[in-house]
Structure 1
Amino acid sequence: MPPSNKIVQENLRPGAPATEWDINGWGDSSIQGFGHDISINVGETIYFKIKTDSTDYRIDIYRMGYYGGLGARLVDSILPSAPLPQVQPEGIRDPETLLYDCGNWAVSASWPAPADAVSGVYFARLVRQDDAPASWRMDNGQDAPAQAPVPFAHAYGSLGRGRLATALREPRASHIYFIVRDDEGDADILFQTSDTTWQAYNRYGGYCTYGRLNPEYPRIHGGPPRAHKVSYNRPFETRHYRAVNMVFNGEYPFIRWLERNGYNVSYFSGVDSERRGEEILKHRLFLSVGHDEYWSRNQRRNVEAARAAGVHLAFFSGNEVFWKIRWEPSVDGADEEYRTMVVYKETHDNAKIDPKADEWTGTWRDARPFNPEGPQPENALTGTIFTVNAWRNDPLIVPAAYAQLRFWRNTDVAKLQPGARAVLLRGLLGHEWDEDIDNGFRPAGLFRLSETTIDNVPYIQDHGTVYDAGTATHHLTLYRHDSGALVFGAGTVQWGWGLDAHHDAETGVPPERANATDTRVGVDLTGPDRNIQQATVNLFADMGVQPATLQADLVAGAASTDMEAPVSTLLQPPAGATLPLATVVLGGTARDADGVVAAVEVSTDNGASWHPAHGRTQWTYAWSPDAPGLYTILCRAVDDSGNLEQANAGIEVTIVQP
């Protein structure tokens, strides 16, 4: 039988081991480069600009995938087109915004993506082949001392003991990351990379969007000042500075699992969601994966438009849609669009400082009057909202009360007895995570799928600058939009860890802290988690997406056939009651004929706003009226397929001064 889709066919090709394609952190500082665009369409050419003193190097083109567990495939190998050694100028620096743009470098090589190339996350591995000596350290680590320790009794490493078994074969190398799109394709899934976050943490040239704030906050983000603009015309140094915010942490294991199971997927950058939003409409399901922290206005509008058109959304991401960005052309004289990412982080300055007066580049949620666009908290789209800062390595907990929700079908969670709980993979909640908060922007009919409470976490105190010790409760969430689109919120950066064990930070410790001399993709010996894999299969099935090569220990799912909403009843207080101005406990029941009641919502203002009740088939809501008067109280229930009840007329009660 021929392969059923391009991803299946692609992953039948021979892969390469990580000892051939990986690098140590951001690689060898003496050979670094970038592509002229973060993405190209199939059949288009990417142009590489490379800075090195090497007189002999090659460029290996790889594509990420599963490939029998090897994780990448060598697609092509090319040589530079420029005479060597090629001298590149210093990049262009803007002292006011600390922007550093290397677009003035000359082209060093190019690679034409074949017309039949398979969409994916690609990387060019720049490999020095000259005689320049590598560091004495494993994988060309650059840390001091410059000279290797002298072999002597009990100097075990210098005597050869403990030598790294998975050492890189050619360590004098670096990566250029880019995405190959398929603009004419209509794959079931569109996977958006978190490249805007990769760039936000990229310190190449000296600065990134993280750095010293103002004297009010002397302990926060110390070091150099933060840049207000960062350029895509730079090599990525991110994996050295903050590897957890690069592709190999949250995105790479997700890619491996998708392609292992033959899901029909194509790939897209965050920049593309801004400039090619209409492409999202060609797909059944849009994925945000990993640390997807930086979103532009049009990017969000395009994803919201896709939701309104019935495209399902799954946010397998945490701290997502947190900072609002905008785009400007490059400053290298070419004026290339979408090469300068602007984020003044005005929230940190407690003022409007971006010179573009009508557009905000602080946090999306910032509600202070100097935000000209007003607060737009991220949970209005994703269902969850960021509250817990780095560096977390927490498990996901599912109490038995959630076990019968269809999301958990065919998992061990579904077998939980009353009072029990499932504790799933440590690190699944990390390295930053969200909560479900009743903040006035919560989507209608949103319901919870899990419940994990952790004490002493770094909890956000303001709109995005100050953190203090707190207690947070994480929930997986799901809701169905009026269009019929399902929207899932994982509320964590590292959902991919539950799908595949191969990623950076495999010990749960940030790589630059776990082993400061060598950051590599490793194997998490505690992962993956079959429950997370099966739940993801279930979710995709309910979104109309099926795998072609499902792994043997998982069960294929089927979309829900339940189209009938549950029915809720308000029992307390009785209609027409007169109550004192104090906390009033509302209560009632709910039932569902074909599924499970997943949540109940209550309105005390005749449907103008809704709030989550406590409980499901038996529920309560503690209401604190603001003032005396006549109030209309409504209730509605949602089932585990996302069917939301149309609220009935409700009851009226009178609140009086006691």
Structure 2
Amino acid sequence: MIRRWESGALAHAVSDPFGQGPLPWLRGSEHYFDDTGQVVPWYVDHAPAPGARRVPAPRPSGPRMADDVHRQIKGFTATGAVAPGEAIDFHITVDPPQQFSVDIYRIGHYQGDGAAHITTSPRLSGIKQQPPLTADRSVSCHHWWLSWRLQVPSYWNVGAYVAVLTTVDGFRSHVPFTVRDERRADLLLLLPDVTWQAYNLFPEDGRTGASLYHAWDEQGRLLGEREAATTVSFDRPYAGAGLPLHVGHAYDFIRWAERYGYDLAYADTRDLHAGRVDPARYRGLVFPGHDEYWSVPMRRTTERAREHGTSLVFLSANSMYWQVELGPSPSGVPDRLMRCRKRRGPGRPALWREIDRPEQELMGIQYAGRVPEPSPLVVRNADHWLWEATGAHEGEGIEGLVAGEADRYFPRTPLPEHEGRVLLAHSPYEDAEGTRRHQETSLYRAPSGALVFASGTFAWSPALDRPGHVDPRVQRATANLLDRICKHD
């Protein structure tokens, strides 16, 4: 039996110590505790052994979360980001078959609620779809029948949306999607759906699920990276509650930025890959969360953006680490499969830095390692305009801001061409082996005039708008950066 905290999602959730942030439709917990205080695995049927204490049933607290074993209700969209006026197709399984409804929410500030309810579907008839297909550890549900087509009205705002699926008998799951357009805006927010899919272990059932990190063998043992999938499909739900791991980082930035009125456009990183992003339309591209997996076209377009004066803002760490390829689904739909060979077998390496294209050549710093316990971010160059009016002083530590994973400057790795460069933090921490390491935050100006900022830590976006993690110094520093990019006085 795999314990819940050993499963793929939570094994990597140690690098996301912040949870999802406030989402108004999430009122219950995905798991519960028995009377010994231990987490009970949510996908194990709780038939007590003879003489064992009976595990209490979950306390009712509104709708119950669907799981990947029973798949009471699970779904995904068969398209990437869509524009107002276009349709988005939902493929949903319901077990046992029954009616269900779909509530659509848009992520934003909304007076602190975190999202707004936009519309509700008619009552829909649910069917139990066929089990997921597997091939060489890759899992796909591309054969599921169409369940509902949402025609996105032309008046909807672009943004990050979540479809909340609820069965008549009270089970719930989620499907994230993006509404985009091609209008000019100050900032383009790129939601990291490529990285989200790399971590997706659906179905997280102890048998068939697989991500680029984990898979199970025939005995239900969780396997590591060397035996995980090398190809993952976008044609499947996200594991667990249906929201991607690390999605909260993007939502944190969105709530904060919309609260203060920044002019945002939205797209997925697959839009960046497919050439649907024209960087010339924006003053800056913002990568708000963990954005680890990049294709060659994604990097090429981002480098071209910098060369033509569009600024780049990386608000997390461990960005642009693995190189991936995107390909069509078995039915020929583009960009529905992602391949990353990682370290399996001979051939070309999959790390950007191992093919002489280190991340630092674009971002100014690059991934250094995990941070097992949150540590202070130690301010450097406090007289720089980024720290202006933040109240931060030279050598001051901002508690808990170095967390999850960290980047730093590598002296032996080439830097990008620049006309000015500054390190804005230098923060010591200890890795899991007790070795002393350090994190750094970087900013440089490219010859084109573009600014390139890299926070170098997972904790930056949560410090903008996540209860318990908000830091006014980080909020003001981010505003100083974006205001300068957007040329606001």
- Asked if TM exceeds 0.5, the reply is yes
The partner residue of 1:351 within 346, 355, 361 is 346
What is the letter of the counterpart of residue 479 of structure 2? Answer: V
Is 1:440 the equivalent of 2:440? no
Q: Give the direction of change, closer, same or farther, for the CA distance of 1:361–1:234 in structure 2 (3 Å limit).
A: farther
Retained in 1: the 8 A contact 2:232–2:337? yes
Answer whether contact 1:277 1:299 (CA < 8 A) is retained.
no
Alpha carbons of 1:225 and 1:79: their partners in 2 closer, same or farther (altered >3 Å)?
farther
Q: Which residue of 2 aligns with 1:379?
A: 360
CA gap of 1:479–1:361, structure 2 versus 1, over 3 A, is: same
2:289 counterpart residue number: 290
Q: Which runs of 5+ in 2 are unaligned?
A: 1-21, 32-64, 204-208, 217-221
Is the partner of 2:278 in helix, strand or coil?
helix
Alpha carbons of 1:174 and 1:63: their partners in 2 closer, same or farther (altered >3 Å)? same
Aligned partner of residue 458 in structure 2, secondary structure: coil
Counterpart in the other structure of 2:139: 100
Whether contact under 8 Å (1:59, 1:77) holds in the other structure is yes
Asked whether the 8 Å contact 2:358–2:413 carries over to 1, the reply is: no
Partners of 2:324 and 2:338 within 8 A in 1: yes
Specify which of 475, 497, 500 is matched with residue 440 of structure 2: 475
Query: Is the alpha carbon distance of 1:238 and 1:198 closer, same or farther for their aligned partners in structure 2, counting shifts above 3 Å?
Result: farther
Q: Percent identity?
A: 30
Residue 499 of structure 1: SS of its match in structure 2? helix
Match of 1:88 in 2: 129
- CA drift at 1:247: 0.6
Q: Name the residue aligned to 1:544.
A: 486
1:471 Cα deviation from its structure 2 partner: 2.3
Measured at CA, do residues 224 and 449 of structure 1 come closer, stay the same or move farther in structure 2, by a change above 3 Å? closer
Q: How far apart are the structure 1 equivalents of 2:364 and 2:252?
A: 23
Residues 619-638 of structure 1 aligned to structure 2 (within 5 Å): none
**CA contact under 8 A between 1:388 and 1:433: conserved in structure 2?**
yes
Taking the aligned partners of 1:316 and 1:474, their CA distance within structure 2 comes to 14
Q: Which amino acid aligns with 2:211?
A: C
Give me the whole-angstrom Cα distance separating, in 2, the residues matched to 1:280 and 1:361. 29
Q: Partner residue of 1:335?
A: 332
The alignment status of 1:364 with 2:366, answered yes or no, reads no
Q: Hey, what's the Cα distance between the residues in 1 that align with 2:281 and 2:266?
A: 13
Confirm or deny: 8 A CA contact 2:315 2:456 kept in the other structure.
yes
CA shift, 1:323, in A, is 0.6
SS in 1 for 2:271: helix
User: Which residue of structure 2 lines up, in the alignment, with residue 45 of structure 1?
Assistant: 87
C-alpha distance 251-545 of structure 1, shift in aligned 2 (>3 A): farther
Partner in structure 2 of residue 127 of structure 1 = 166
Secondary structure at the counterpart of residue 253 of structure 2? helix
* Distance apart, 1:308 and its partner CA: 0.9
CA contact (8 A) 1:292 1:319 kept: yes
- Correspondences of 1:131-170 after superposition (within 5 Å): none
| CA deviation after TM superposition for structure 1 residue 85, in Å | 4.2
Deviations 1:508-538 (A, max 9, x none): xxxxxxxxxxxxxxx32xx311111111111
> Of 451, 454, 474, which aligns to 1:486?
451
C-alpha deviation, 1:79, in angstroms: 2.9
Name the residue aligned to 2:152: 113
Deviates more, 1:268-277 or 1:439-448: 439-448
How many Å separate the matches in 1 of 2:244 and 2:126? 34
Q: Does 1:66 align with 2:109?
A: yes
SS state at 2:303 partner: helix
Shift in Å, 1:447? 1.6
**Contact 2:24–2:113, Cα closer than 8 Å, also in 1:** no
Tell me the secondary structure at the aligned position of residue 58 of structure 1. Answer: strand
Which of 427, 431, 442 is 1:452 aligned to? Answer: 427
Partners of 2:116 and 2:349 lie apart in 1 by 39
Q: CA deviation at 1:493?
A: 2.0
Shift of 1:394: 2.1
* SS across alignment from 1:192: strand
**What is the distance in 2 between the residues matched to 1:32 and 1:253?**
25
Letter in 2 for 1:173: R
State the alpha-carbon separation in 1 of the partners of residues 379 and 462 from structure 2. 17
Shift of 1:224: 9.0
SS at match of 1:290: coil
Question: Residue 364 of structure 2 contacts residue 409 of structure 2 at CA under 8 Å; is this kept in 1?
Answer: yes
Whole-angstrom distance in 1 between the partners of 2:133 and 2:147: 18
Q: 1:239 to 1:350 in 2, by over 3 A?
A: farther
Aligned partner of 2:386 among 407, 411, 423: 407
Q: 1:87 to 1:544 in 2, by over 3 A?
A: closer
- Taking structure 2 as the reference length, the TM-score comes to 0.80
Instruction: Tell me which of 66, 72, 92 is aligned to 1:28.
Output: 66
Residue 23 of structure 1 deviates from its aligned partner by 6.5
Of structures 1 and 2, the larger Rg is shown by: 1
3-state secondary structure, aligned to 1:252: helix
Distance in 2 between the 1:278 and 1:194 partners?
A: 14
- Please state how far the C-alpha of 1:423 moved relative to its aligned partner: 1.6
1:246 aligns to what? 246
- Structure 2 contact 200–244 (Cα < 8 Å) conserved: no
Separation (CA, whole Å) in 1 of partners of 2:337 and 2:26:
29
Cα 1:239–1:109 shift into 2, 3 Å:
closer
| 1:109/1:122 CA distance change after superposition, 3 Å | same
User: RMSD in angstroms over aligned alpha carbons?
Assistant: 2.5
Query: Alpha carbons of 1:441 and 1:350: their partners in 2 closer, same or farther (altered >3 Å)?
Result: farther
Aligned-pair distance for 1:336? 0.6
> Number of aligned pairs?
419
> Conserved in 2, the CA contact under 8 Å of 1:319 and 1:434?
yes
Q: Which residue of 2 aligns with 1:227?
A: 229
Deviations 1:322-372 (Å, cap 9, x if unpaired)? 0100011112xx211000011111xx23621xxxxxxx5611111xxxxxx
- Following the alignment from structure 1 to structure 2, what is the Cα–Cα distance between the partners of residues 344 and 24? 35
Name the counterpart of 2:54: none
- Give the aligned partner of residue 151 of structure 1: none
Alpha-carbon distance in structure 2 between the residues aligned to 1:101 and 1:22: 30
Find the residue that maps to 1:317 and give its secondary structure: coil
Kept in 1, the 8 Å contact 2:100–2:165? The answer is yes
1-structure distance, mates of 2:225, 2:270: 29
CA displacement 1:158-192 (0-9 Å, x = unmatched)? xxxxxxxxxxxx6x211001110012x11111011
Distance in structure 2 (CA, Å) of the matches to 1:263 and 1:212: 41
Contact 1:79 1:109 in 2 (8 A): no
Tell me the distance in 2 between the aligned counterparts of 1:22 and 1:182.
Answer: 32
Deviation at 1:92, TM superposition (A): 2.6
**How far did residue 497 of structure 1 move?**
1.6
Q: TM-score, normalised by structure 1?
A: 0.60
Contact preservation (8 Å) 2:194, 2:270: yes
CA distance in 1 between counterparts of 2:123 and 2:270 reads: 27
Q: 2: distance between equivalents of 1:311 and 1:471?
A: 36
Gaps of 5+ in 1: 1-16, 131-169, 214-219, 353-359, 367-373, 459-467, 502-522, 547-557, 559-658
Q: Contact (CA 8 Å) 1:388, 1:434: kept in 2 or not?
A: yes
Distance apart, 1:90 and its partner CA: 2.3
